[in-house]
Amino acid sequence: MIKFVRPEECKAKLVSSRELAPTIWSYIFEVTEGNFKFEAGQFTNVRLEDPDNPGEIIQRAYSFASAPDKNKFELCIELIENGKGSRYFDALEVGEEIDFKTPFGFCNLDPENRRNLLMVATGTGIAPMKSLLEDLASKEDIRTIDLFFGVRHEENLFYQKELEELKSKLKGLNVRLCLSQPLTEDWHGETGRVTHNLENYDFNESVEVFICGGEAMIKEVRGMVLDAGVDRKQIHVEIFDV
């Protein structure tokens, strides 16, 4: 059974950051204050000053992109032009601290759940999937896990190395990278949106489903899953629309 954990106020300092793909960045933090805990697949609310209204505090939600750890975590963030959260993280320097509250969300997996998994993600919606997969890898999980990860072009792909490493640890993990608009003939992965590539998927009513990305994609995939007979209680979603 998934247990509710009361969110706690915490602080963390930025340890490192790196560009994963155009506009997509990874930020690694080390917790410096607070009762820090979360379950794989959950998210945090970061408190920051509104760049357009000095003195006013706003919040932005970001999923953890790493497995639970005592004092370290990763965020995977798309930096949107003129986005308030994006401007904040773009200016954040190593050693500086952030204020955040965690945990939130129900895109996590019951420890007693042994069902096979279907994961569907687009863009930074891969973050909670990576968190879940890393956690399962640490437990030497052997179930079948099918991951569909979609972006637009080849240059927009990221976490390929990390996913390959996870495949070596999770023997049941199948990764299908989907490009909706491949730019070269050298692309040998899946072509088309993730929804298109799911049309011939052999859904099983007992599968546990995780869907993260844009609202339209989530609505369409959720409809496909429900039509296949999967119980709505087995479907977990996290919307990443800006």
Cα separation of 157 and 173, whole Å? 18
111-138 pLDDT, tens digit each: 999 999 999 999 999 999 999 999 999 9
56-88 pLDDT, tens digit each: 999 999 999 999 999 999 999 999 999 999 999
Same domain, yes or no, for 91 and 126?
no
Same domain, yes or no, for 59 and 17?
yes
Choice between 166 and 4, residue whose per-residue pLDDT is larger: 166
Does residue 3 belong to any structural domain of this protein?
no
Contact 211, 236 (CB under 8 A): yes
Last residue of some domain: 57, 81, 104?
104
Same domain, yes or no, for 124 and 196?
yes
Q: Is the pTM of this model over 0.85?
A: yes
Q: Which amino acid is at 16?
A: S
Does residue 109 belong to any structural domain of this protein?
no
Same domain, yes or no, for 87 and 198?
no
pLDDT band, very low/low/confident/very high, at 22 (cuts 50, 70, 90): very high
Calculate the alpha carbon distances from 21 to 43, 78, 154, 186 in Å.
Answer: 21, 9, 10, 19
143-190 pLDDT, tens digit each: 999 999 999 999 999 999 999 999 999 999 999 999 999 999 999 999
Same domain, yes or no, for 93 and 122?
no
Return the pLDDT at 240: 77
Cα separation of 151 and 191, whole Å? 10
204-234 pLDDT, tens digit each: 889 999 999 999 999 999 999 999 999 999 9
Same domain, yes or no, for 86 and 136?
no
Last residue of some domain: 45, 78, 104?
104
Same domain, yes or no, for 95 and 133?
no
Return the pLDDT at 239: 86
The number of domains in the chain is 2
33-46 pLDDT, tens digit each: 999 999 999 999 99
Does residue 79 belong to any structural domain of this protein?
yes
Same domain, yes or no, for 70 and 98?
yes
Q: Does 1 score more than 60 pLDDT?
A: no
Return the pLDDT at 5: 74
Q: Residue 47 has which token pair?
A: 């408190």
Same domain, yes or no, for 193 and 228?
yes
Cα separation of 43 and 82, whole Å? 23
Same domain, yes or no, for 126 and 206?
yes
Q: Residue 159 has which token pair?
A: 């976490």
| Domain coverage including residue 225 | 117-239
Last residue of some domain: 76, 104, 132?
104
Does residue 110 belong to any structural domain of this protein?
no
Does residue 196 belong to any structural domain of this protein?
yes
Return the pLDDT at 220: 97
Same domain, yes or no, for 34 and 88?
yes
Does residue 123 belong to any structural domain of this protein?
yes
pLDDT band, very low/low/confident/very high, at 241 (cuts 50, 70, 90): low
Same domain, yes or no, for 91 and 146?
no
Does residue 176 belong to any structural domain of this protein?
yes
> CATH code at 82?
2.40.30.10
